[in-house]
Amino acid sequence: MTFTAQIDDLTTALRHTRSRLLAPVDRSQLQLPRDPEIFVEDTLLYVMDNWAQDLREQGHVLEEDLAWKVANSHYPRYVLRMAGGSLVQIHFTGQYPRSLFLNISKGFRNGQQFSDARHVQVELPLTTDANKLLASLLDGLKDVTV
């Protein structure tokens, strides 16, 4: 499966997630928490858990890499096992509360090439609104060219 096809599969699952999670937003919780761990736990992991559920229905497995810890980042990293057997790394980067990026990368193992690794980065808004975060993920991946 090509990297472009994998991104398409991720986007398809994300569309299902977004249509399933459209819910009213509690206006009292729109302010970003001071503690980045609260944002990660309440918003980011919630969105990723729901996306993982829809990916699982397509035969893919998205799991958080619990061994991943970077001293200056609170954002999680995931390993996605595609239905065809290939691995894709998904991780969030940025500096809370200023920036948030979704990074999707894949390295290929071909002895005839120097490097044919692929990488996609999508900038996301820092928001406690799961619907807005999902819409940004979907729009960002929809516009990716690999």
What residues contact residue 115 under an 8 Å CB cut-off, 6+ apart? Answer: none
**Mean pLDDT value of segment 136-140:** 93
> Sign of the C-alpha dihedral, residues 20, 26, 32, 35?
negative
pLDDT at 23: 59
- The span from the CA of 129 to the CA of 31, in Å, is 9
pLDDT at 20: 75
Between the CA of residue 106 and those of 29, 40, 126, what are the distances in Å?
36, 24, 25
Residues 56-94: tens digit of each pLDDT: 999 999 999 998 887 778 899 999 999 988 889 999 999
Residues 6-45: tens digit of each pLDDT: 999 999 998 888 887 765 666 666 689 999 999 999 899 9
Main-chain dihedrals φ then ψ at residue 115, nearest 5 degrees: -160, 135
Residues 116-126: tens digit of each pLDDT: 678 999 999 99
Domain locations along the chain: 3-142
- The span from the CA of 29 to the CA of 14, in Å, is 24
pLDDT at 27: 63
pLDDT at 28: 61
pLDDT at 73: 83
Between the CA of residue 95 and those of 75, 100, 113, 126, what are the distances in Å?
9, 7, 34, 10
Main-chain dihedrals φ then ψ at residue 25, nearest 5 degrees: -95, 135
Main-chain dihedrals φ then ψ at residue 83, nearest 5 degrees: -55, -30
Q: Which residue has the higher pLDDT, 115 or 138?
A: 138
- The span from the CA of 76 to the CA of 64, in Å, is 7
